Amino acid sequence: MTAWKPGAATIRELLRLGDLDQVAASASLAERLLQEAETNIASAEIVRPQDPGGAVQLGYEAARKAATSLLAAQGLRPTSAGGHVAVQRAVIAQFGEAFNRFGRMRRRRHEQEYPNIDSPTATDGDALEMIAFARQATKRAREVVGSKRLGAWSS
């Protein structure tokens, strides 16, 4: 199996910057992350009516885990320096459309996690949007991981 080609230049750059590390590719870790993403989505749906902010956070965690599952399948892992932004850049470059809202969703989750006086309170609409994004990201990640077309990253 050959390395996934789309987004290769971005992955090389993230590795060069130290925002991603190479590790052993792991289909089992990818599957575990996808299962956790699906559990987070189900939990977000349960808490949404009473806690839209919590649902936003859970939905974002689901999307991030789905995205990270794709990296795990390739033997890539974000570093503490790269964090969530490295995950965002890597999956948008490689897997596109399903992850295009990742940056906006990441910032929305950040507003909930680290609010200031001007941060808006999450609404039910925010929670529904985040859950829909998480579903879309998880579905796409499951399709790609399930296709067995991702190989270990090689530059």
Q: Residue 25: its pLDDT value, please? A: 94
Q: Residue 3: its pLDDT value, please? A: 59
Q: Residue 108: its pLDDT value, please? A: 82
Side-chain half-sphere exposure of 43, counting CA atoms within 13 A: 15
Q: What architecture is the 8-146 domain classified under in CATH? A: Up-down Bundle (1.20)
Q: Residue 125: its pLDDT value, please? A: 92
Whether 2 shows a pLDDT value over 70: the answer reads: no
Q: Residue 150: its pLDDT value, please? A: 82
Q: Residue 113: its pLDDT value, please? A: 80
Give residue-wise pLDDT tens across range 17-73. Answer: 999 999 999 999 999 999 999 999 999 999 999 999 999 999 999 999 999 999 999
93 or 113, which is more confident: 93
Compute the distance between CA of residue 35 and CA of residue 113 in angstroms, rounded to an integer: 23
Q: Which phi and psi (to 5°) does residue 70 adopt?
A: -65, -40
Give residue-wise pLDDT tens across range 65-89. Answer: 999 999 999 999 999 988 888 998 9
CB contact at 8 A, 151 and 3: yes
Helix (H) or strand (E) holding 8, with range, is helix 8-17
Whether 10 shows a pLDDT value over 90: the answer reads: yes
Give residue-wise pLDDT tens across range 94-142. Answer: 988 778 887 778 888 878 788 788 877 888 999 999 999 999 999 999 9
Compute the distance between CA of residue 99 and CA of residue 65 in angstroms, rounded to an integer: 12
Q: Which phi and psi (to 5°) does residue 77 adopt?
A: -145, 135
